[in-house]
């Protein structure tokens, strides 16, 4: 007896229809995934490009607006009494220091400026020099004065040490310029910074500044 293994026509047709239906859904899903991936990549690319652009602009602004510290130079320094033979009673220190704002678009506010002169790390005199003022960008201010009388505190012992150094060829001092400053950028003001300009300076046997110290730039730091 022979068995009939033929598949019913209706069943075969249904299977083909299901396969076509499944295939269409599969490709539709693939197309949807592809579009979603492309849109996601496009959004990520745009976001990264914007972040990169913002970073570049911020870096350029930081470079152009970053405040530079004021620059101080010793222009002149002298103790005429070293060669006048008049001694300690008529001793005086004459100094001239310049403060330069090298910023292009940033101003500097100074509180009162105090100058102190040191010898062997000991204060030998000082006084206020300037009252509060505003320094425009690319501007230079002269900080000059004379220490004598009550503002010059030299003892006989110190004077003898200075004269001994003079006999050796030079006497080295240190000028400390102190002020509280803040930077002005457009309408914005920075916080206050206590600034020190530490200026080493030496005089020769004639009591006048040695060439190696003239126009020398002073280290500046904040405390």
Rounded to the nearest integer, the mean pLDDT of the chain is 85
Q: What is the pLDDT of residues 93-145, one digit of tens each?
A: 999 999 999 998 899 999 999 999 999 999 999 999 999 999 999 999 999 99
| Global pTM exceeds 0.85 | no
Q: What is the dihedral of CA 63, 65, 66, 68, to 10 degrees?
A: 120
Phi then psi for 207, rounded to 5 degrees? 85, 5
- Selection from 101, 27, 93 nearest residue 71 by Cα: 101
Q: What is the pLDDT of residues 53-98, one digit of tens each?
A: 887 766 556 555 678 999 999 999 999 998 865 677 789 999 999 9
pLDDT at 105: 87
Residue 178 has pLDDT above 60, yes or no: yes
Phi then psi for 45, rounded to 5 degrees? -65, -45
Q: What is the pLDDT of residues 11-58, one digit of tens each?
A: 555 555 555 555 666 555 555 567 677 777 788 888 888 888 887 766
Do 190 and 178 form a contact (C-beta atoms < 8 A)? no
Residue 188 has pLDDT above 90, yes or no: no
pLDDT at 89: 79
In sequence order, what DSSP letters do the residues of 46-75 get, joined into one string?
Answer: HHHHHHHHHHHHHHHHHHHHPPPPPEEEEE
Q: Which residue has the higher pLDDT, 146 or 90?
A: 146
- Tokens (6 digits) for 68: 């530079």
pLDDT at 185: 84
How far lies 124's CA from each of 88, 91, 116, 195, in Å?
A: 12, 12, 8, 21
Phi then psi for 111, rounded to 5 degrees? -75, -175
């Amino acid at each position: 007896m022979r068995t009939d293994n033929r598949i019913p026509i209706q069943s075969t047709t249904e299977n083909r229809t299901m396969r076509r239906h499944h295939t269409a859904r599969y490709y539709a899903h693939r197309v949807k995934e592809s579009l979603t991936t492309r849109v996601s990549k496009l959004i990520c690319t745009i976001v990264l490009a914007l972040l990169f652009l913002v970073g570049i602009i911020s870096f350029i602004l930081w470079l152009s607006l970053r405040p530079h510290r004021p620059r101080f130079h010793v222009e002149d320094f002298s103790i005429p009494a070293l060669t006048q033979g008049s001694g300690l009673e008529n001793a005086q220190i004459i100094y001239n220091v310049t403060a330069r704002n090298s910023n292009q678009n940033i101003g500097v506010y100074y509180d009162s400026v105090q100058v102190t002169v040191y010898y062997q790390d000991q204060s030998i005199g000082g006084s206020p020099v300037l009252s509060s003022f505003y320094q425009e960008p690319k501007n230079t201010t002269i900080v000059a004065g004379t220490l004598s009388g009550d503002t010059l505190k030299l003892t006989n012992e110190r004077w003898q040490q200075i004269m001994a150094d003079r006999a050796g060829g030079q006497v080295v001092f240190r000028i400390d310029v102190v002020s509280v400053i803040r930077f002005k950028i457009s309408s914005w003001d920075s916080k206050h910074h206590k600034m020190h300009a530490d200026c080493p300076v030496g005089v020769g046997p004639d009591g006048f500044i040695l060439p190696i110290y003239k126009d020398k730039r002073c280290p500046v730091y904040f405390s």
